[in-house]
Amino acid sequence: AGLSARTRELVERRRRVLGPAYHLMYETPLELVRGEGVHVYDADGARYLDMYNNVASVGHCHPRVVEAVTRQMSLINTHTRYLHDAVIGYAEDLVGTFPDELDTAMFTCTGSEANDLALRIARHATGRQGIIVTESAYHGGTVDMAACSPSMGPTSVRDAPWLRTVPAPDTYRVEGDLGTWFAEHVQTQIDDLAASGIGIAALLIDSIFVSDGILPEPTPFLKPAADLVHAAGGLLIADEVQPGFGRLGASMWGFERHGLMPDIVTMGKPMGNGMPIAGLVMQSSLAEQFGRDLRYFNTFGGNPVTIAAAQAVLDVIRDEDLVANSAAMGGRMLAGLREIAHNADAIGDVRGAGLFVGVEFVGSSGEPDPDTAIRVVNDMRNHGVLISATGLYGNTLKIRPPLSIGSADIDYFLEQFQSVVA
């Protein structure tokens, strides 16, 4: 209903040839053909403010990324079994953004592969299999990562006897000290894994809990749980696929807000501004132990072309001061949203860190209201602003524009949001 003939045709052909597993965003699906900075354009030339795309994190089609990829693509593209100065140089540059202990990098093409490899490394190091994740986590699409992604369907625990889940540290709903509360849940599952004879290999955690509903505060609530995992001989894997590369404003990496030291950090999405590069940074002792006993090869992972993109992204983040911009623009957005929420009963909570912001919709007695969230997402799309919704209940707006956004676009977003929720 209400779709143009072209949209309806594409939707039908897509459904026929790609099947039903892939979802489309928005009641009126978008056909995007071009992007520039914080804007994307559809096939009819209509412009949208992209408040959602954390992959094109330094801005759509950033000229420095486009130029770096084009230049390298016309020189050579090979794999990591040849020497390449730029690949080594990027790895050195990347580990330089981490605390000294995290000094070794490995490259993959996707965040799923990075998490999957992190699991193998953690299991090899600990000699145990057990993994703990939050109950609405998303960590990827390989067989093991699908099991670690209860947000994608209820198969995880059935398929993976080594998996345990804990409720997410929900800043809005949990009363009392969040760090203690979360640590107690983690300890219960550590004990359960031990009692089952499986034992804990790792706590795998998204440092901003995106699919659990975006849970940023109050830091350092992750620290007590991390300490318990380490005390039990398990490793801490920080999944920075979403929060990494400056999005949270305070620093390059989300875990740093919690004052803790992961054993392995995984990353992806914004790493190449859309080129398929992802990876891990870990303590060298883990990489040494793994590499002594096992080998790893990834045909496309960390090739010179995707590395050229990744190097350009790191350079742009620094040269355009995007971490500071994320903090400043995120603060502006949070303040504006809180003002709007003040007069909107349907908004129960506004929370965020840098340019990762969640707005939670609730009913009159505080119960989750996903219908309103979905209505707002679709209305915003019809107002030319792209966002989505997330969380255990699907009632939290997910707002994460490119880190390069300026105050005029933040204010435009707030105006549109005001008119949609009013």
Interacting residues with ligand PMP (CB under 6 A): 110-112, 115, 138-141, 206, 210, 239, 241-242, 268, 278
- Least distance to ligand PMP, CB of residue 112, Å: 3
DSSP letters spanning 58-122 = T-BT-HHHHHHHHHHHTT----TTS--HHHHHHHHHHHTTS-TTEEEEEEESSHHHHHHHHHHHH
Distance, CA of 53 to CA of 74 (rounded, Å) = 28
Q: Closer to ligand PMP at the Cβ: 64 or 139?
A: 139
- Least distance to ligand PMP, CB of residue 2, Å: 29
Contact 157, 124 (CB under 8 A): no
- Least distance to ligand PMP, CB of residue 108, Å: 9
Q: Closer to ligand PMP at the Cβ: 104 or 242?
A: 242
Q: Closer to ligand PMP at the Cβ: 210 or 312?
A: 210
Helix or strand holding residue 158 (H, E): helix 156-159
- Least distance to ligand PMP, CB of residue 292, Å: 27
Strand 278-283 and strand 264-267: the pairing is: antiparallel
Helix, strand, or coil here: 278? Answer: strand
Contact 39, 18 (CB under 8 A): no
Q: Closer to ligand PMP at the Cβ: 69 or 145?
A: 145
- Least distance to ligand PMP, CB of residue 241, Å: 4
Residues with Cβ within 8 Å of 33's Cβ and at least 6 positions away in sequence, in order, are 41, 42, 43
Kindly report whether the peptide bond that precedes residue 218 is cis, defined as omega within 30 degrees of 0: yes
- Least distance to ligand PMP, CB of residue 270, Å: 11
Q: Look up tokens 């509360």; give the residue.
A: 181
Q: Which residue is nearest to ligand PMP (CB)?
A: 111
- Least distance to ligand PMP, CB of residue 21, Å: 14
The one-character DSSP state at 320 is T
- Least distance to ligand PMP, CB of residue 87, Å: 20
Helix, strand, or coil here: 309? Answer: helix
Q: Closer to ligand PMP at the Cβ: 257 or 348?
A: 257
- Least distance to ligand PMP, CB of residue 257, Å: 16
Contact 383, 416 (CB under 8 A): yes
Contact 159, 203 (CB under 8 A): no
Query: Residue 224 is encoded by which pair of tokens?
Result: 């007590």
Distance, CA of 79 to CA of 171 (rounded, Å) = 44
Q: Closer to ligand PMP at the Cβ: 55 or 198?
A: 55
- Least distance to ligand PMP, CB of residue 243, Å: 8
- Least distance to ligand PMP, CB of residue 149, Å: 8
Q: Closer to ligand PMP at the Cβ: 131 or 232?
A: 131
Distance, CA of 153 to CA of 341 (rounded, Å) = 32
Distances (CA, A) of 22 to 111, 146, 195, 390: 18, 15, 39, 17
Which amino acid, one-letter code, is at 38?
Answer: V
Q: Closer to ligand PMP at the Cβ: 116 or 349?
A: 116
Q: Closer to ligand PMP at the Cβ: 58 or 410?
A: 58
Q: Closer to ligand PMP at the Cβ: 111 or 262?
A: 111
Residues with Cβ within 8 Å of 402's Cβ and at least 6 positions away in sequence, in order, are 37, 38, 50, 53, 54, 56, 57, 58, 59, 60
Q: Closer to ligand PMP at the Cβ: 232 or 399?
A: 399
